[in-house]
Structure 1
Amino acid sequence: MRQPPRYRLVVDVMVLMVRDDGRILLLRRAGAVYASGLLCPPGGHLEEHESVTAGALREVTEEVGVTIARRDLEFCHAIHHRSPEGEGRLGLVFTTQRWKGQPSIREPDKCSALIWADPTRPPADCVPYTAAVLQQYAGGGLLSEHGWPTGGAA
Protein backbone atom coordinates (compact mmCIF):
# COMPACT_ATOMS: atom_id res chain seq x y z
CA MET A 1 0.00 0.00 0.00
CA ARG A 2 1.27 3.43 -0.90
CA GLN A 3 1.81 5.79 2.02
CA PRO A 4 0.50 9.36 1.77
CA PRO A 5 3.22 12.01 1.39
CA ARG A 6 4.68 13.36 4.59
CA TYR A 7 3.28 16.65 5.79
CA ARG A 8 5.72 19.50 5.27
CA LEU A 9 5.46 23.10 6.30
CA VAL A 10 7.40 26.33 6.58
CA VAL A 11 8.88 27.09 10.00
CA ASP A 12 8.70 30.71 11.12
CA VAL A 13 10.62 32.19 14.04
CA MET A 14 9.68 35.35 15.92
CA VAL A 15 11.34 37.23 18.75
CA LEU A 16 9.39 39.31 21.23
CA MET A 17 11.92 41.87 22.47
CA VAL A 18 10.56 42.92 25.87
CA ARG A 19 11.55 46.24 27.44
CA ASP A 20 11.62 46.80 31.21
CA ASP A 21 8.14 48.37 31.00
CA GLY A 22 6.76 45.18 29.38
CA ARG A 23 6.31 46.66 25.90
CA ILE A 24 7.44 44.63 22.91
CA LEU A 25 8.98 45.76 19.65
CA LEU A 26 6.83 45.58 16.51
CA LEU A 27 7.86 46.44 12.95
CA ARG A 28 5.56 48.05 10.39
CA ARG A 29 5.94 46.00 7.24
CA ALA A 30 6.42 48.01 4.05
CA GLY A 31 6.92 47.63 0.34
CA ALA A 32 6.16 44.59 -1.77
CA VAL A 33 5.99 42.14 1.14
CA TYR A 34 3.29 40.02 2.74
CA ALA A 35 1.02 42.12 5.03
CA SER A 36 2.52 45.45 3.97
CA GLY A 37 1.41 48.22 6.33
CA LEU A 38 0.74 45.86 9.24
CA LEU A 39 2.71 45.25 12.44
CA CYS A 40 4.67 42.15 13.48
CA PRO A 41 7.66 41.33 15.69
CA PRO A 42 11.12 40.72 14.22
CA GLY A 43 11.16 37.32 12.57
CA GLY A 44 10.92 35.29 9.41
CA HIS A 45 11.26 31.78 8.10
CA LEU A 46 14.11 29.36 8.59
CA GLU A 47 16.68 28.89 5.92
CA GLU A 48 17.93 25.48 4.81
CA HIS A 49 20.03 23.70 7.48
CA GLU A 50 19.35 26.39 10.10
CA SER A 51 18.26 25.68 13.69
CA VAL A 52 15.29 27.59 15.12
CA THR A 53 17.46 29.56 17.53
CA ALA A 54 20.02 30.41 14.85
CA GLY A 55 17.18 31.58 12.59
CA ALA A 56 15.64 33.74 15.33
CA LEU A 57 18.99 35.36 16.13
CA ARG A 58 19.73 35.97 12.43
CA GLU A 59 16.32 37.53 11.76
CA VAL A 60 16.61 39.97 14.68
CA THR A 61 20.06 41.08 13.56
CA GLU A 62 18.96 41.45 9.92
CA GLU A 63 15.76 43.33 10.70
CA VAL A 64 16.58 45.58 13.67
CA GLY A 65 20.38 45.40 13.99
CA VAL A 66 20.68 44.12 17.55
CA THR A 67 22.64 41.16 18.83
CA ILE A 68 21.10 38.68 21.24
CA ALA A 69 23.04 35.96 23.04
CA ARG A 70 21.56 32.49 22.56
CA ARG A 71 21.25 32.10 26.33
CA ASP A 72 18.99 35.20 26.41
CA LEU A 73 16.36 33.65 24.10
CA GLU A 74 13.51 31.90 25.86
CA PHE A 75 10.87 29.82 24.07
CA CYS A 76 7.38 31.11 24.88
CA HIS A 77 4.88 29.92 22.25
CA ALA A 78 4.22 27.71 19.23
CA ILE A 79 1.52 28.50 16.69
CA HIS A 80 0.35 26.24 13.88
CA HIS A 81 -0.83 28.74 11.30
CA ARG A 82 -2.56 28.38 7.97
CA SER A 83 -1.92 31.28 5.63
CA PRO A 84 -4.78 32.88 3.66
CA GLU A 85 -3.49 30.87 0.68
CA GLY A 86 -3.86 27.62 2.65
CA GLU A 87 -0.16 27.03 3.34
CA GLY A 88 0.65 25.40 6.68
CA ARG A 89 3.29 27.11 8.80
CA LEU A 90 4.65 26.46 12.27
CA GLY A 91 5.70 29.55 14.20
CA LEU A 92 8.10 29.28 17.13
CA VAL A 93 8.13 32.37 19.31
CA PHE A 94 10.92 33.42 21.65
CA THR A 95 11.24 36.27 24.12
CA THR A 96 14.26 38.21 25.24
CA GLN A 97 14.80 41.02 27.68
CA ARG A 98 18.46 41.54 26.82
CA TRP A 99 20.17 42.59 23.61
CA LYS A 100 23.15 44.64 22.50
CA GLY A 101 22.59 47.69 20.35
CA GLN A 102 19.72 50.06 19.71
CA PRO A 103 16.93 48.65 17.54
CA SER A 104 16.77 50.43 14.19
CA ILE A 105 15.29 49.83 10.76
CA ARG A 106 17.85 47.74 8.87
CA GLU A 107 15.68 46.79 5.89
CA PRO A 108 13.90 50.00 4.82
CA ASP A 109 12.49 48.25 1.75
CA LYS A 110 10.60 45.87 4.09
CA CYS A 111 10.00 48.00 7.22
CA SER A 112 8.82 51.61 7.65
CA ALA A 113 8.62 52.01 11.46
CA LEU A 114 9.46 50.47 14.82
CA ILE A 115 6.78 50.64 17.52
CA TRP A 116 6.89 49.59 21.18
CA ALA A 117 3.47 48.13 22.03
CA ASP A 118 1.67 46.70 25.02
CA PRO A 119 1.25 42.97 24.25
CA THR A 120 -1.92 42.82 26.35
CA ARG A 121 -3.48 45.50 24.12
CA PRO A 122 -1.83 45.09 20.72
CA PRO A 123 -2.53 47.66 18.03
CA ALA A 124 -5.49 46.88 15.79
CA ASP A 125 -3.25 46.87 12.73
CA CYS A 126 -1.19 43.79 13.64
CA VAL A 127 -0.81 40.96 11.16
CA PRO A 128 -3.62 38.53 12.20
CA TYR A 129 -1.00 35.85 12.90
CA THR A 130 0.82 38.28 15.21
CA ALA A 131 -2.40 39.28 17.00
CA ALA A 132 -3.09 35.58 17.69
CA VAL A 133 0.43 35.10 19.08
CA LEU A 134 0.23 38.19 21.30
CA GLN A 135 -3.16 37.15 22.69
CA GLN A 136 -1.75 33.77 23.70
CA TYR A 137 1.54 35.25 24.95
CA ALA A 138 -0.31 37.72 27.19
CA GLY A 139 -2.41 34.88 28.60
CA GLY A 140 0.50 32.49 29.09
CA GLY A 141 -0.63 30.05 26.37
CA LEU A 142 2.07 27.79 24.95
CA LEU A 143 0.28 26.52 21.85
CA SER A 144 -2.29 27.94 19.47
CA GLU A 145 -3.76 27.29 16.06
CA HIS A 146 -4.70 30.05 13.67
CA GLY A 147 -6.36 30.14 10.28
CA TRP A 148 -7.62 26.56 10.21
CA PRO A 149 -11.25 25.98 9.19
CA THR A 150 -12.16 24.21 12.43
CA GLY A 151 -10.82 26.66 14.78
CA GLY A 152 -9.10 29.98 15.39
CA ALA A 153 -6.82 30.43 18.31
CA ALA A 154 -6.94 27.42 20.63
Structure 2
Amino acid sequence: MAPEPTGTAALLVNGRGQYLLHLRDANKPHICDPGTWSIPGGGREGSESSRQAVERELLEETGLTVALEPLTVVDAHGPGGQGKDRIQVYLGAWDGDADALPCPEGIMFRWFDAATTAWLTMCPWTAEVIALHRRTAPAPALAAAPVPVPVPRSGGRARPNVIGVHLYLQRPDGKVLLGLRHPDLPFAGRTWHLLAGHCEQEGALACLVREAEEEAGLTIRAEDAELVHTVHVLDEGGDGQPRLQLFFRARAWSGTPELREPDKCLEWAWWDPAALPEPIVAYTRTAIEAIGHGRAYSEMGWT
Protein backbone atom coordinates (compact mmCIF):
# COMPACT_ATOMS: atom_id res chain seq x y z
CA MET A 1 0.00 0.00 0.00
CA ALA A 2 1.31 3.44 -0.95
CA PRO A 3 2.11 5.71 2.01
CA GLU A 4 -0.45 8.39 2.86
CA PRO A 5 0.40 11.75 1.22
CA THR A 6 2.26 14.18 3.46
CA GLY A 7 0.41 17.25 2.17
CA THR A 8 -3.26 18.19 2.06
CA ALA A 9 -5.36 20.87 0.36
CA ALA A 10 -9.03 21.85 -0.02
CA LEU A 11 -10.67 22.91 -3.28
CA LEU A 12 -13.78 24.93 -2.36
CA VAL A 13 -16.44 25.65 -4.99
CA ASN A 14 -19.40 28.02 -4.63
CA GLY A 15 -22.89 27.82 -6.11
CA ARG A 16 -21.76 29.79 -9.17
CA GLY A 17 -19.03 27.28 -9.99
CA GLN A 18 -16.23 29.59 -8.85
CA TYR A 19 -13.10 28.41 -7.05
CA LEU A 20 -11.78 29.92 -3.80
CA LEU A 21 -8.11 30.74 -4.43
CA HIS A 22 -5.42 31.93 -2.03
CA LEU A 23 -2.62 34.29 -3.14
CA ARG A 24 0.64 33.05 -1.63
CA ASP A 25 3.27 35.38 -0.18
CA ALA A 26 5.94 36.20 -2.76
CA ASN A 27 8.79 37.19 -0.44
CA LYS A 28 8.58 35.11 2.73
CA PRO A 29 11.27 32.38 2.90
CA HIS A 30 10.44 28.67 2.62
CA ILE A 31 7.18 29.22 0.71
CA CYS A 32 6.15 26.64 -1.87
CA ASP A 33 5.24 28.23 -5.22
CA PRO A 34 5.63 31.82 -3.93
CA GLY A 35 3.53 34.58 -5.48
CA THR A 36 1.06 32.17 -7.09
CA TRP A 37 -2.66 31.55 -6.67
CA SER A 38 -3.32 28.25 -4.94
CA ILE A 39 -5.79 26.64 -2.54
CA PRO A 40 -5.67 26.41 1.27
CA GLY A 41 -3.93 23.47 2.87
CA GLY A 42 -0.75 22.25 4.49
CA GLY A 43 1.23 19.29 5.73
CA ARG A 44 0.22 16.63 8.22
CA GLU A 45 1.49 17.02 11.76
CA GLY A 46 2.41 14.19 14.08
CA SER A 47 0.06 11.23 13.73
CA GLU A 48 -2.66 13.18 11.89
CA SER A 49 -4.53 11.57 9.04
CA SER A 50 -4.87 13.53 5.80
CA ARG A 51 -8.48 14.36 6.66
CA GLN A 52 -7.59 15.60 10.13
CA ALA A 53 -4.78 17.72 8.65
CA VAL A 54 -6.89 19.33 5.93
CA GLU A 55 -9.71 20.13 8.37
CA ARG A 56 -7.21 21.74 10.77
CA GLU A 57 -5.43 23.68 8.02
CA LEU A 58 -8.69 24.93 6.53
CA LEU A 59 -9.86 26.15 9.93
CA GLU A 60 -6.50 27.84 10.67
CA GLU A 61 -6.22 29.55 7.28
CA THR A 62 -9.87 30.51 6.64
CA GLY A 63 -11.85 30.00 9.86
CA LEU A 64 -14.11 27.58 7.96
CA THR A 65 -15.45 24.14 8.84
CA VAL A 66 -16.73 22.54 5.63
CA ALA A 67 -17.79 19.02 4.66
CA LEU A 68 -15.00 17.59 2.48
CA GLU A 69 -14.68 14.57 0.18
CA PRO A 70 -11.46 13.19 -1.34
CA LEU A 71 -10.90 14.43 -4.91
CA THR A 72 -7.42 13.44 -6.09
CA VAL A 73 -3.73 13.13 -5.18
CA VAL A 74 -1.18 15.34 -6.95
CA ASP A 75 2.58 15.74 -6.93
CA ALA A 76 4.15 19.04 -5.84
CA HIS A 77 7.65 20.41 -5.33
CA GLY A 78 8.86 21.89 -2.06
CA PRO A 79 10.25 25.42 -1.51
CA GLY A 80 12.64 26.45 -4.27
CA GLY A 81 11.56 23.50 -6.40
CA GLN A 82 13.45 21.04 -4.18
CA GLY A 83 12.10 17.62 -3.36
CA LYS A 84 8.69 16.21 -4.18
CA ASP A 85 5.59 15.90 -2.02
CA ARG A 86 2.28 14.17 -2.63
CA ILE A 87 -0.82 16.16 -1.74
CA GLN A 88 -4.23 14.70 -0.95
CA VAL A 89 -6.79 17.17 -2.30
CA TYR A 90 -10.33 17.33 -0.94
CA LEU A 91 -13.41 18.92 -2.47
CA GLY A 92 -15.96 21.02 -0.58
CA ALA A 93 -18.72 23.53 -1.21
CA TRP A 94 -19.01 26.97 0.40
CA ASP A 95 -20.98 30.09 -0.51
CA GLY A 96 -19.59 33.12 1.26
CA ASP A 97 -17.61 36.35 1.01
CA ALA A 98 -13.92 35.73 0.29
CA ASP A 99 -13.03 39.23 1.58
CA ALA A 100 -14.46 38.34 4.99
CA LEU A 101 -12.03 35.45 5.55
CA PRO A 102 -9.28 36.21 8.10
CA CYS A 103 -6.29 35.20 5.89
CA PRO A 104 -3.58 34.94 8.62
CA GLU A 105 -1.19 33.54 5.98
CA GLY A 106 -0.51 34.79 2.47
CA ILE A 107 -2.09 37.86 0.85
CA MET A 108 -5.79 37.37 0.13
CA PHE A 109 -8.62 35.04 -0.84
CA ARG A 110 -10.70 35.57 -4.00
CA TRP A 111 -13.36 33.71 -6.00
CA PHE A 112 -12.47 33.02 -9.65
CA ASP A 113 -14.32 31.19 -12.38
CA ALA A 114 -12.43 28.51 -14.26
CA ALA A 115 -11.91 30.64 -17.38
CA THR A 116 -10.23 33.42 -15.37
CA THR A 117 -7.72 31.04 -13.79
CA ALA A 118 -6.05 30.72 -17.22
CA TRP A 119 -4.92 34.36 -16.88
CA LEU A 120 -3.60 34.03 -13.33
CA THR A 121 -0.12 33.07 -12.14
CA MET A 122 -1.21 29.69 -10.86
CA CYS A 123 0.49 27.14 -8.66
CA PRO A 124 1.05 24.27 -11.17
CA TRP A 125 -0.56 21.52 -9.15
CA THR A 126 -3.55 23.75 -8.28
CA ALA A 127 -4.13 24.39 -11.99
CA GLU A 128 -3.99 20.62 -12.47
CA VAL A 129 -6.61 20.08 -9.74
CA ILE A 130 -8.99 22.67 -11.20
CA ALA A 131 -8.64 21.15 -14.68
CA LEU A 132 -9.44 17.72 -13.22
CA HIS A 133 -12.48 19.07 -11.40
CA ARG A 134 -13.77 20.73 -14.58
CA ARG A 135 -13.50 17.41 -16.43
CA THR A 136 -15.10 15.25 -13.77
CA ALA A 137 -17.36 17.56 -11.69
CA PRO A 138 -17.94 14.94 -8.95
CA ALA A 139 -21.68 14.89 -8.34
CA PRO A 140 -21.70 13.73 -4.67
CA ALA A 141 -19.56 16.62 -3.40
CA LEU A 142 -21.44 19.28 -5.35
CA ALA A 143 -24.77 17.85 -4.30
CA ALA A 144 -23.70 18.41 -0.71
CA ALA A 145 -23.30 22.14 -1.28
CA PRO A 146 -25.39 24.21 1.14
CA VAL A 147 -28.33 25.99 -0.44
CA PRO A 148 -27.98 29.75 0.11
CA VAL A 149 -30.68 31.08 2.40
CA PRO A 150 -32.02 34.59 1.65
CA VAL A 151 -30.96 37.15 4.25
CA PRO A 152 -33.97 38.24 6.35
CA ARG A 153 -34.76 41.91 5.84
CA SER A 154 -35.98 42.33 9.40
CA GLY A 155 -35.19 40.01 12.27
CA GLY A 156 -34.61 36.30 11.62
CA ARG A 157 -31.43 34.27 11.83
CA ALA A 158 -28.16 35.88 12.78
CA ARG A 159 -25.49 36.40 10.15
CA PRO A 160 -21.93 37.71 10.63
CA ASN A 161 -21.34 41.24 9.34
CA VAL A 162 -18.16 42.22 7.49
CA ILE A 163 -16.49 45.23 9.14
CA GLY A 164 -15.08 47.86 6.79
CA VAL A 165 -12.91 50.75 8.01
CA HIS A 166 -12.64 54.02 6.05
CA LEU A 167 -10.40 57.07 6.43
CA TYR A 168 -12.16 60.46 6.16
CA LEU A 169 -9.16 62.72 5.60
CA GLN A 170 -10.03 66.40 5.16
CA ARG A 171 -7.59 69.25 4.49
CA PRO A 172 -8.02 72.72 6.01
CA ASP A 173 -9.53 73.87 2.69
CA GLY A 174 -12.35 71.35 3.20
CA LYS A 175 -11.36 68.91 0.44
CA VAL A 176 -11.50 65.17 1.13
CA LEU A 177 -9.01 62.51 -0.01
CA LEU A 178 -10.38 59.93 -2.47
CA GLY A 179 -8.69 57.17 -4.45
CA LEU A 180 -9.54 55.92 -7.94
CA ARG A 181 -9.75 52.13 -7.70
CA HIS A 182 -7.94 49.94 -10.21
CA PRO A 183 -10.23 48.66 -13.01
CA ASP A 184 -9.25 45.01 -12.37
CA LEU A 185 -10.53 44.97 -8.78
CA PRO A 186 -13.55 42.70 -8.21
CA PHE A 187 -15.42 45.48 -6.38
CA ALA A 188 -15.96 49.01 -7.77
CA GLY A 189 -13.25 49.02 -10.42
CA ARG A 190 -12.38 52.48 -11.82
CA THR A 191 -14.59 54.07 -9.15
CA TRP A 192 -13.69 56.72 -6.55
CA HIS A 193 -13.64 55.64 -2.92
CA LEU A 194 -12.17 56.64 0.43
CA LEU A 195 -9.05 54.87 1.65
CA ALA A 196 -10.51 51.71 3.15
CA GLY A 197 -9.97 48.10 4.18
CA HIS A 198 -11.47 45.15 6.04
CA CYS A 199 -10.69 44.40 9.67
CA GLU A 200 -8.48 41.35 10.09
CA GLN A 201 -7.51 40.01 13.54
CA GLU A 202 -7.40 43.57 14.90
CA GLY A 203 -9.50 46.43 16.23
CA ALA A 204 -11.00 48.99 13.86
CA LEU A 205 -8.53 51.72 14.84
CA ALA A 206 -5.57 49.39 14.35
CA CYS A 207 -6.98 48.54 10.93
CA LEU A 208 -7.27 52.25 10.07
CA VAL A 209 -3.65 52.93 11.06
CA ARG A 210 -2.41 49.88 9.11
CA GLU A 211 -4.39 50.60 5.94
CA ALA A 212 -3.34 54.28 5.87
CA GLU A 213 0.33 53.23 5.92
CA GLU A 214 -0.02 50.29 3.52
CA GLU A 215 -2.16 52.03 0.90
CA ALA A 216 -0.93 55.64 0.97
CA GLY A 217 2.16 55.93 3.17
CA LEU A 218 0.29 58.06 5.71
CA THR A 219 1.05 57.92 9.43
CA ILE A 220 -1.94 58.25 11.74
CA ARG A 221 -2.09 57.71 15.48
CA ALA A 222 -5.14 55.90 16.83
CA GLU A 223 -5.67 58.64 19.42
CA ASP A 224 -6.00 61.20 16.59
CA ALA A 225 -8.91 59.38 14.94
CA GLU A 226 -12.61 59.68 15.80
CA LEU A 227 -15.62 57.77 14.51
CA VAL A 228 -17.78 60.24 12.56
CA HIS A 229 -20.21 58.01 10.66
CA THR A 230 -21.44 54.42 10.27
CA VAL A 231 -23.27 52.97 7.25
CA HIS A 232 -24.99 49.59 7.64
CA VAL A 233 -25.19 48.16 4.12
CA LEU A 234 -26.98 45.09 2.81
CA ASP A 235 -26.06 43.57 -0.54
CA GLU A 236 -23.16 45.96 -1.23
CA GLY A 237 -21.31 44.12 -3.99
CA GLY A 238 -24.39 42.01 -4.83
CA ASP A 239 -23.68 39.02 -2.58
CA GLY A 240 -26.29 39.53 0.14
CA GLN A 241 -23.57 40.05 2.77
CA PRO A 242 -24.35 42.58 5.53
CA ARG A 243 -21.52 45.07 5.97
CA LEU A 244 -20.90 47.58 8.74
CA GLN A 245 -18.89 50.44 7.24
CA LEU A 246 -17.08 52.63 9.80
CA PHE A 247 -15.79 56.10 8.88
CA PHE A 248 -13.05 57.69 10.98
CA ARG A 249 -11.88 61.30 10.69
CA ALA A 250 -8.16 61.85 11.35
CA ARG A 251 -7.58 65.10 13.26
CA ALA A 252 -3.86 64.91 12.49
CA TRP A 253 -1.58 62.91 10.22
CA SER A 254 1.85 63.01 8.62
CA GLY A 255 2.93 62.24 5.09
CA THR A 256 1.68 62.93 1.58
CA PRO A 257 -0.57 60.34 -0.15
CA GLU A 258 1.51 57.94 -2.25
CA LEU A 259 0.54 55.10 -4.59
CA ARG A 260 1.81 52.28 -2.38
CA GLU A 261 -0.50 49.69 -3.99
CA PRO A 262 -0.81 50.57 -7.70
CA ASP A 263 -2.62 47.29 -8.38
CA LYS A 264 -5.45 48.61 -6.19
CA CYS A 265 -5.40 52.40 -6.59
CA LEU A 266 -4.61 54.43 -9.74
CA GLU A 267 -4.40 57.87 -8.10
CA TRP A 268 -5.14 59.89 -4.98
CA ALA A 269 -6.87 63.26 -5.29
CA TRP A 270 -8.53 65.84 -3.05
CA TRP A 271 -12.19 66.65 -3.78
CA ASP A 272 -14.71 69.21 -2.61
CA PRO A 273 -17.47 67.30 -0.73
CA ALA A 274 -20.02 69.47 -2.57
CA ALA A 275 -18.61 68.41 -5.98
CA LEU A 276 -17.68 64.73 -5.67
CA PRO A 277 -16.37 62.87 -8.75
CA GLU A 278 -18.26 60.25 -10.72
CA PRO A 279 -18.44 57.36 -10.51
CA ILE A 280 -18.12 57.08 -6.73
CA VAL A 281 -19.05 54.17 -4.44
CA ALA A 282 -22.67 54.77 -3.42
CA TYR A 283 -22.26 54.28 0.31
CA THR A 284 -19.16 56.52 0.27
CA ARG A 285 -21.22 59.38 -1.18
CA THR A 286 -23.91 58.72 1.45
CA ALA A 287 -21.35 58.85 4.26
CA ILE A 288 -19.59 62.02 3.04
CA GLU A 289 -22.90 63.85 2.66
CA ALA A 290 -24.07 62.65 6.10
CA ILE A 291 -20.79 63.72 7.75
CA GLY A 292 -21.26 67.16 6.24
CA HIS A 293 -24.67 67.37 7.90
CA GLY A 294 -23.46 66.00 11.24
CA ARG A 295 -25.40 62.73 11.02
CA ALA A 296 -23.80 59.73 12.72
CA TYR A 297 -25.62 56.79 11.07
CA SER A 298 -27.10 55.67 7.73
CA GLU A 299 -28.58 52.47 6.30
CA MET A 300 -28.62 51.23 2.70
CA GLY A 301 -30.35 48.20 1.17
CA TRP A 302 -32.46 47.26 4.20
CA THR A 303 -35.85 47.50 2.51
Give the TM-score normalised by the residue count of structure 2.
Answer: 0.46
* Structure-2 separation of matches of 1:116 and 1:110: 18
Report the 3-state secondary structure (helix = DSSP H, G, I; strand = E; otherwise coil) of the residue aligned with 1:62. helix
Which of 277, 294, 298 matches 1:140?
294
Structure 2 residue 265 is the aligned partner of structure 1 residue 108: no
Bigger shift: residues 108-117 or 122-131: 122-131
Which of 220, 233, 237 matches 1:81?
233
Displacement after TM superposition at 1:135 (Å): 1.5
Q: CA RMSD in A?
A: 1.4
* Structure-2 separation of matches of 1:32 and 1:125: 16
* Structure-2 separation of matches of 1:66 and 1:51: 18
Structure having the higher helix fraction is: 2
* Structure-2 separation of matches of 1:117 and 1:141: 20
Report the 3-state secondary structure (helix = DSSP H, G, I; strand = E; otherwise coil) of the residue aligned with 1:12. strand
Identity %: 36
Asked whether the equivalents of residues 26 and 41 of structure 1 are also in contact (C-alpha less than 8 Å), the reply is: yes
* AA aligned opposite 1:45: H
Which of 190, 194, 205 matches 1:37?
190
Asked whether the equivalents of residues 20 and 97 of structure 1 are also in contact (C-alpha less than 8 Å), the reply is: no
* AA aligned opposite 2:277: P
Structure with bigger RCO (C-alpha 8 Å, 6+ apart): 1
Structure 2 unmatched ranges of 5 or more: 1-155
Asked whether the equivalents of residues 80 and 144 of structure 1 are also in contact (C-alpha less than 8 Å), the reply is: yes
Structure 2 residue 72 is the aligned partner of structure 1 residue 72: no
Aligned residues: 145
**What does residue 210 of structure 2 align with?**
58
Give the TM-score normalised by the residue count of structure 1.
Answer: 0.88
* Structure-2 separation of matches of 1:75 and 1:47: 18
Bigger shift: residues 4-13 or 130-139: 4-13
Asked whether the equivalents of residues 191 and 278 of structure 2 are also in contact (C-alpha less than 8 Å), the reply is: no
Which of 260, 263, 278 matches 1:124?
278
**What does residue 251 of structure 2 align with?**
97
Which of 166, 173, 198 matches 1:14?
166
* Structure-1 separation of matches of 2:229 and 2:190: 25
Displacement after TM superposition at 1:68 (Å): 0.5
| Runs of 4 or more above 4 Å deviation | none
